[in-house]
Chains A and B, each alone.
Chain A
Amino acid sequence: MSDVTTSSDVTLGEICVAAVADTFRGDGEIFASGMGTIPMLGARLARATFEPDLLVSDGEAFFVANDLPVGGTDKQVEGWIPFRSVFDTLWGGRRHVVMGATQIDRYGNQNIANIGPWAQPKAQLLGVRGAPGNTINHTTSYFIGNHTSRCFVEKVDTVSGIGYDRAAEMGEWVKAHHEIRRVVTNLAVLDFATPDHRMRLASVHPGVTVDDVVAATGFELVVPDDVPTTRTPTDDELRVLREVLDPRSFRDRELPKPA
């Protein structure tokens, strides 16, 4: 809501967008795809600032060359990407997607399909959608707006996106191409930079403690001795985000209200 561009009043949504943007660092000329407002903003922010070769879409069927605001319609189209081309692109590996997760486990197995037994679920959700194909073909990250032990679980009810333990059981090609890069949440950034690819606490957001994250995680997290604080967006990133990409502040609506 505020027009102020000093970094003293950075919101949680802005920290999350910058953390998602960071997951695309070094990706080059590939399709940066985000499911949901914060992941989409993360892709667009990365492209607008430090990763200019990324391709980003309007969320419908077009690659856009301009810095399209959330909900914006003034598109400078640079390519056509109907669903069939999305599948071609992802099977070809030229994509990094940031998806959501209803459940995720320590190896990065993700569930968006259902809660409870698959045969007759307690809660039917979307179905596996493209998660199996995404995770086996190209880099995947996750954004989880509500980090709780109901989401970070010992065992997910249905493996939609495959994690490191599942990938390790497969052939050499899969092992070489499977990558769950990072998990960004409302509390922290997590990665799998451990010898056996168990989830590790990479940084905690400003004002969040390591204990907060451990308490909100339903499995044993790898916690390094020194856990850094997640970076806040630069003044330039904040300006682009607030004035260009998200002037109506959709970024803070995807997160739970502070307790």
Chain B
Amino acid sequence: MSPAAPRSKRTTEDEAVATLADGMTIGIGGWGSRRKPMSLVRALLRSDVKDLTVVSYGGPDVGLLCAAGKVRKLVYGFVSLDSIALEPHFRQARQSGTIPEVVEYDEGMLQWGLYAASLRLPFLPTRAGLGSDVVVNDPTLKTVRSPYADGEELLAVPALTLDAAFVHLNRSDERGNAQFLGPDLYFDDLFLAAAEPGRRFLSCEKVVPTAELLENGSFHTLKINRSMVDGVIEAPNGAHFTNCQPDYERDEAFQKEYAQAAGDPEAWKAFVDTYLSGSEADYQKAVASR
């Protein structure tokens, strides 16, 4: 008797977003304006899901979700477009006070919170954040004292357990064994590992047969295995306009257009009409026909 055929986890952005409910906590991989799961974020914009808690090393994912009024709580270490230092929609949202709850962590604390969740620990200790206004602005943060001879007081970063995770990688097989080919995985594996099984979605530039994975890069690039992934979405150019090295660089001209439009309500309405009012295919077509 031959074993059952491998289970395919192929799905679409819209099916992935359909598993979400109002008020959920969503972690978004990538870093700033680098390898963000933008096609999944765009699907979120098309949906009527709201009141989200968003956890991110923020870039345009955070900006777009803020602009669409989807964010009830934001947990971040920074929000930036890299080549454009400040994210315009995020700035507007903060300056007009439209995000009801804001948690600003040190970058390393965010990693620690995700790591704690992935290890099913209630917290992990660190010094990062102590003495800064991070602990002033989030009075729910607590410290722990080392039980050993040093007796040092440390910050207990609480587990950032996610209801769902979105990441974008370079390659994956249809079972969710995924591969990064660029210079940095960022914290994508931790976002997946910190999320409840059932809503861990991975988009990729190309779905390939398992046997092909090691033709693209060394085994060191296989940091995400299928036990960490529930749904695989083939999304060529899916990280646009953020980068997805080595497949493509950031679309700087488009990012500039995005940032300029964000500064003016009329221009932003036109931007949304042109790029964000249809399907992902419509988006990619509009981008290509500029």
Give me the interface of A with B, judged by CB distance under 8 Å: 60-62, 80, 82-84, 87, 90-91, 113-114, 118-133, 135-137, 158-162, 166-167, 169-171, 173-174
Contact = CB atoms under 8 A, between A and B. Distances in A.
B172 to A, nearest CB: 20
A31 to B, nearest CB: 15
B12 interface: no
A139 to B, nearest CB: 15
B106 A120 contact: no
Contact of B132 (A120, A128, A173): A128
B79 to A, nearest CB: 6
A159 B132 contact: yes
B137 A91 contact: no
A133 B183 contact: no
Given A113-B104, A127-B104, A166 B109 contact: no
A106 B106 CA distance: 23
Interface of B: 31, 58, 76-80, 85-86, 90-91, 94-97, 104-109, 111, 126-134, 136-137, 150, 152-153, 183-187
Contacts of B79: 126-127
B184 A87 contact: no
Nearest to A127: B78
A146 B236 CA distance: 43
A127 B94 CA distance: 11
B90 A174 contact: no
A193 B150 CA distance: 29
B86 A133 contact: no
B132 A129 contact: no
B55 to A, nearest CB: 13
Nearest to A166: B131
A123 B131 CA distance: 23
B217 to A, nearest CB: 13
Contacts of A126: 78-80, 85-86
B127 A137 contact: yes
A133 B128 contact: yes
Contacts of B136: 159
B95 A132 contact: no
Contacts of B106: 128-133
A142 to B, nearest CB: 15
Contacts of B80: 126
B153 A136 contact: no
Contacts of B77: 127-130
Contacts of A84: 111, 185, 187
B120 to A, nearest CB: 20
Contacts of B76: 127
Given A127-B76, A158-B133, A169-B131, 10 more contacts: A61-B184, A91-B108, A120-B96, A124-B95, A128-B105, A132-B134, A136-B131, A158-B137, A170-B131, A171-B152
Contacts of A130: 77, 106-108
Contacts of B91: 123-124
Nearest to A116: B95
A124 B133 contact: no
27 contacts: A61-B184, A82-B183, A83-B107, A83-B184, A113-B133, A120-B97, A126-B86, A127-B58, A127-B79, A128-B105, A128-B132, A129-B106, A130-B107, A131-B106, A132-B109, A132-B128, A132-B131, A133-B108, A136-B130, A137-B127, A158-B137, A160-B133, A161-B132, A170-B130, A171-B153, A173-B150, A173-B152
Contact of A83 (B58, B85, B187): B187
- Please provide the 5 A-B residue pairs with the shortest distance between their CB atoms, ordered closest to farther: A133-B128, A132-B132, A61-B183, A124-B94, A127-B78
Most buried by B among A87, A90, A174: A87
Contacts of A60: 183-184
B270 to A, nearest CB: 24
A173 B186 CA distance: 30
A120 B130 contact: no
A159 B133 contact: yes
B184 A124 contact: no
A175 to B, nearest CB: 11
A83 to B, nearest CB: 6
Given A127-B79, A132-B134, A162-B132, A91 B126 contact: yes
